[in-house]
Each structure stands twice: as C-alpha cells, then as structure tokens.
Amino acid sequence: MFMLYMYSTESCIMLAVRLPADIETRLAALAKETGRTKTFYAREAILRYLEDMEDRYIAQRRLEKPGRRVSMKEAEAFLGLAD
C-alpha cells in the first residue's frame, strides 16, 4: 500500500510507501552498510521497475499491432553496414 502526498517542489513529488517490517529492515541494513539513503534505493528500485514495465508494454503493443519488420541483413544494408 502507498500514499501519494501532494507536497512538491518544482522538480519532485514526495511519495510515502508502507513496507512490511522485514523489507524495511533489509532496506535500512543495506543503506547503513553502503552509506546510501533508503530513499536512494527506493528511487532506484522504482526507476528500474518502471523501465522494465515500459519496455514490456512497448513489446506487448508491437506484438498486438505488428508493423514492418526487417532482418539484420536488411537493416545493415539500409545503414550501409553490409559487407
């Protein structure tokens, strides 16, 4: 479960996330061990997940609405990279 607060500055919005105690303990231990903040790791995790999901949805849309596909040989020839 999470809550989105509408507190914001020009470039960021604060996001509060409720975590089970065991995950928070692991996160705190990692932050302490590495000298980074829990916020750093939460932000990194969200960014990586978003990138993966965006890629997944792009791939899914392309499978549902296939466009023209070219082979590696065709792409290399078009780009002038063919032998």
Domain spans of the chain, in order of start: 21-78
Confidence of residue 6 (pLDDT cuts 50, 70, 90): very low
Higher pLDDT pick, 7 / 43: 43
pLDDT at 9: 60
Torsions phi, psi for 42 (to 5 deg): -65, -45
pLDDT band at 65; cut points 50, 70, 90: confident
Helices (H), 1-83: 21-34, 38-64, 72-78
Share of the chain above pLDDT 90, in %: 63
Hey, CA dihedral for 4, 6, 7, 12, is it positive or negative?
A: positive
